[in-house]
Structure 1
């Protein structure tokens, strides 16, 4: 029986990490764009070059 002890802890940590990552990853993606205007400027520069 003691050999089965690490597995529930591993699955518990894995599930909590998955939940945490799923909850935080979209918010990080949403907040990255306003804080980094370099992406928008790069897209605008590419669009201007394509138009010209």
Structure 2
């Protein structure tokens, strides 16, 4: 997915994940950084 977006000219991608979701660790390993957080979720961003 990241390669597809990069190929289409996107500079970055963002997503939100619930704080209780274990996928947060996967996104961190894939290079996503925490942009901000709310009481319930993290907003993550990754430059392509």
TM-score, with length taken from structure 2: 0.23
More helix per residue: 1 or 2?
1
| Larger RCO (CA within 8 A; separation ≥ 6) | 2
Q: When you count strand as a share of all residues, which structure comes out higher?
A: 2
Q: Highest Rg: 1 or 2? A: 1
TM-score for the superposition, normalised by structure 1: 0.22
